[in-house]
Amino acid sequence: MSGAYNAMELTICCAARLLEDGRTVAVGTGVPCAAAMLAQRTSAPRLCIVFEAGGIAPQLPTMPISVGDSRTFYRALMATSMADVMETCQRGMIDYTFLGGAQIDAYGNLNSTMIGADYARPHVRLPGSGGANDLASLCWRVLVVTNHDRRRFVEKLDFLTTPGYLTGPGAREAAGLPSLPLPSSVRTTSRFTRRAPSR
């Protein structure tokens, strides 16, 4: 083995190190799932992985292709529903969530809806929130994993899909959202961490 790795593989390894043993993490597929699987197989064997579609604490044999893939229920402690997973978040029982997006601003807000100035006629239509808005609003820590690219780190989002600190200190609470340390960390392919504004 040559020991060579690419920037995204290194990002996955760095993200996996953030997950603590005995904690819960809500993940989607792709990089967040890879980081959670790596953590579970190395430094955090008791990490409880939760999938938005209802798989709770599966023993993932291989990478699932979606949050509803049958692998997300393999040898799981529970096969439940999206409503139950979101209620679990609402009750404060999920420690982390991994999110990404096409754009992130200085306040940790994310855009995964559209690129362009006109919602009716966007330059690019993206998949949207899925459960990201709920997860960012209700989990104790948000970890953002993304490629390090000038187009992703923007001054102003084209569309606010998922709240971070909204417009700055106090705005999150004024909007009725819990006061949480968001985002806990941003991991990019350039291997640096950006911390949330201090309160």
Catalytic residues: 52
Extract the tokens encoding 138.
């209700």
Task: Identify which of 26, 18, 11 has the alpha carbon closest to the alpha carbon of residue 136.
Answer: 26
CA atoms within 13 A on the CB side of 183: 28
Spell 98-132 as b/e; 16+ CB within 10 A means b.
Answer: bbbbbbbbebbbbbbbbbeeeeeeeeeebeebbbb
Angle CA 129–59–64, to nearest 5: 40
Place of tokens 């084209």: 158
